[in-house]
């Protein structure tokens, strides 16, 4: 684990270990294959509308930025444009990016002057992480964003160590920037790394060129977004973060156990916690061995985690992008501890590192997740997944409870009729009806209402503005989800708003028998419409050719 020149070739057997780690991640990711998060279909619908109507919008004619992954959304649009199965393409693209993260993490560790041993430990932490495995195939940009971050840092290190290297990292930074809204936090690494090099390399033309090549396209991108959508932040920011608790407030109120980082460390088993706690301790003690890339990028990722406080999807999605850098930092700390040992103590230290790594692998390979979610495979204990791998790979991707809602929309409404519901992705992408989002991702008035507490004097005005906008859209159906333990918090607040407002009874009939675990409001007179269901259903199925669940096949059989 000693420092060494980056020109030194990897040791014998290194590529075999990397191949084995990558194969493990592949198998682990495929065990989650049926899981496809509903938000993936939000990005896909934006791509569908871009191809069909030339507008990057959720509802044609409404410029609301309800996605937070522009580059991934354009990738989905490209899949639609070339006629590729879009959901399959999103899942395979994420899987490929995740697999590349394993050798990329090792390559970055070598570039940062850590030995093969530390590089392999970092790669092993990445390859065995269940969160990366899940988000590799969930249909979102998480794995691709992570890979872009690693590649950007690797290339920037090359350019700092080789004066003749072209500033390709600036282009990679642009891609990072248009991948996720938290990308600006990762600019800290560029600033710190360059400041540390000022003692030997003063600022000059290469730095100005790098800034120019990055700033010009980023400035054009931000200006275009401002002019098109009317803001610099996506609407999802207000819906998901705008009214949420901040870390400091939560800690002062004694709710620190809800903090995402706390759950990540201590809700995944003691072996997993031991790895990260011991790695952090060693990294702090041997901090001179920890490269700037590890602590800067790790801090930037954790800063966003603290800003968001919690997550609204399973298996710690927000902890995945900084994972390779946190893993490199822990591996550098372990390397320091091993190098400090003498005699037999060195062997003991190496065995201790192996033990905590194996404990983490066991927890990640067997443990479930600590919150309910629509699809059990994302949260269930993982103990039998190697035995079930073939069946899971053969299984179709599952849209979850939204599948029943989508079929109700297809069979009860015409394409131009608006639907009001939360969990809008699969419904919107399959049926393509205008959708009014109760969660507020694409409806700012709903987000504004949800961010105002009931004790706030503005609550009544926010409720009225939200419902005025919803009724103006004249939704044919209003779908509110129930769960076995009670109505979901967002739906519960919206239901209370409907009841307090009083207009719902005059305009809608409540029909709870239409869908299980749903409160359903049907616009009066909707059942009197004569609908041509067959062409509508067949057109919807053509949009998502890889959609082949048992329910989907049974429902589609009646129209073929």
- Predicted confidence at residue 532, as pLDDT, reads 81
- Say what the pLDDT of residue 1 is: 40
Tokens 């003063």, located at residue: 202
- In terms of Cβ atoms closer than 10 Å to its own Cβ (0-12, 13-18, 19+), residue 525 is exposed
Give pLDDT, residue 6: 57
Q: What angle do CA 412, 413, 415 make, to 5 degrees?
A: 145
Best CA proximity match to 313, nearest among 257, 266, 375, 269: 375
Asked if 71 contacts 141 with a C-beta cutoff of 8 angstroms, the reply is yes
Its sign, for the CA torsion 335, 336, 337, 339, is positive
Please give the backbone phi and psi of residue 437, each rounded to the nearest 5 degrees, phi first: -90, 115
CB contact set of 234 (below 8 Å; sequence gap of 6+): 65, 66, 67, 68, 181
pLDDT per residue rounded down to tens, the chain (560 residues): 444 445 577 877 899 999 999 999 999 999 999 999 999 999 999 999 999 999 999 999 999 999 999 999 999 999 999 999 999 999 999 999 999 999 999 999 999 999 899 999 999 999 999 999 999 999 999 999 999 999 999 999 999 988 889 999 999 999 999 999 999 999 999 999 999 988 888 888 999 999 999 999 999 999 999 999 998 888 888 777 765 556 666 666 666 667 888 889 999 999 999 999 999 999 999 998 999 999 999 999 999 998 888 777 889 999 999 999 999 999 999 999 999 998 888 999 999 999 999 999 999 999 988 765 667 788 888 888 999 999 999 988 878 778 999 999 999 999 999 999 988 999 999 999 999 999 999 999 999 998 888 888 999 999 999 999 999 999 999 999 876 545 577 888 899 999 998 899 999 999 988 888 889 999 998 866 556 888 999 999 999 998 989 899 999 998 87
Q: Which of 366, 395, 368 is nearest to 380 (CA)?
A: 368
Q: Where are the alpha helices (DSSP H) in 413-458?
A: 425-431, 444-450
Please give the torsion angle defined by the CA atoms of residues 332, 337, 342 and 346, in that order, rounded to the nearest 10 degrees. Answer: -80
What is the distance, to the nearest Å, from the Cα of residue 424 to the centroid of all Cα atoms in its chain?
16
Which residues, including other chains, have CB under 8 Å from residue 521's CB and lie 6 or more apart? 477, 478, 480, 498, 504, 508, 509, 510, 511
What is the number of residues in the chain? Answer: 560
């Amino acid at each position: 684990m000693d420092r060494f020149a980056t020109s030194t070739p990897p040791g014998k057997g290194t590529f075999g270990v990397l191949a084995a780690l990558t194969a493990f991640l592949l198998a682990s990711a495929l065990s989650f294959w049926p899981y496809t998060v509903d938000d993936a279909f939000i990005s896909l619908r934006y791509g569908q509308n871009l191809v069909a109507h030339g507008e990057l919008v959720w509802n044609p004619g409404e410029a609301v930025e309800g996605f937070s992954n522009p580059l991934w959304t354009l990738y989905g649009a490209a899949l639609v444009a070339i006629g590729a199965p879009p959901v399959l393409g999103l899942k395979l693209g994420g899987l490929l990016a995740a697999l590349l993260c394993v050798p990329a993490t090792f390559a970055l560790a070598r570039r940062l002057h850590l030995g093969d041993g530390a590089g392999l430990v970092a790669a092993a932490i990445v390859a065995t992480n269940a969160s990366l495995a899940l988000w590799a195939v969930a249909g979102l940009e998480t794995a691709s964003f992570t890979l872009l971050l690693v590649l950007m840092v690797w290339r920037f290190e090359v350019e700092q160590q080789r004066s003749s290297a072209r500033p390709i990292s600036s282009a990679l930074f642009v891609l990072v920037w248009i991948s996720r809204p938290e990308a600006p936090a990762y600019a800290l690494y560029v600033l710190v790394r360059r400041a540390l090099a000022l003692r030997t390399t003063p600022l000059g033309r290469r730095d100005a060129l790098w800034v120019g090549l990055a700033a010009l396209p980023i400035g054009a991108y931000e200006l275009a977004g401002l002019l098109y959508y009317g803001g610099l932040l996506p609407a999802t920011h207000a819906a998901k973060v705008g009214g949420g608790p901040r870390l400091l407030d939560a800690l002062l109120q004694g709710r620190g156990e809800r903090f995402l980082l706390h759950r990540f460390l201590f809700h995944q088993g003691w072996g997993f916690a031991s790895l990260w706690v011991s790695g952090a301790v060693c990294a702090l003690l041997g901090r001179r061995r920890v490269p700037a890339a590890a602590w800067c990028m790790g801090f930037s990722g954790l800063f966003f985690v603290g800003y968001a406080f919690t997550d609204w999807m399973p298996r710690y999605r927000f902890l995945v992008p900084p994972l390779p850098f946190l893993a490199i930092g822990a591996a550098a700390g372990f390397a320091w501890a091993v190098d400090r040992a003498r005699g037999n103590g060195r062997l003991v230290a190496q065995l201790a590192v192996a033990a905590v790594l194996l404990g983490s692998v066991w927890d990640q390979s067997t443990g479930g997740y600590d919150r309910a979610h629509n699809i059990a495979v994302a949260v269930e204990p993982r103990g039998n997944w190697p035995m079930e791998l073939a069946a899971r790979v053969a299984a179709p991707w599952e849209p979850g409870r939204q599948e029943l809602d989508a079929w109700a929309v297809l069979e009860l409404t015409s394409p131009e009729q608006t639907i009001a519901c939360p969990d809008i992705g699969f419904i919107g992408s399959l049926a393509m009806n205008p959708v009014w989002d109760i969660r507020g991702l694409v409806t700012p008035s709903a987000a504004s209402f949800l961010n105002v507490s009931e004790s706030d004097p503005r609550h009544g005005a926010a409720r009225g503005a939200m419902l005025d906008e919803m009724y103006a859209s004249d939704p044919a159906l209003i779908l509110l989800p129930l769960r076995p333990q009670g109505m979901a918090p967002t739906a519960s607040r919206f239901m209370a708003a409907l009841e307090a407002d009083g207009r719902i009874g005059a305009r809608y009939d409540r029909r709870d028998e239409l869908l299980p675990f749903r409160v359903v409001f049907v616009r009066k007179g909707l059942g009197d419409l004569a609908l041509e269901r067959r062409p509508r259903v067949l057109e919807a199925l053509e949009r998502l050719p890889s959609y082949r669940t048992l329910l989907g096949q049974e429902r589609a059989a009646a129209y073929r």
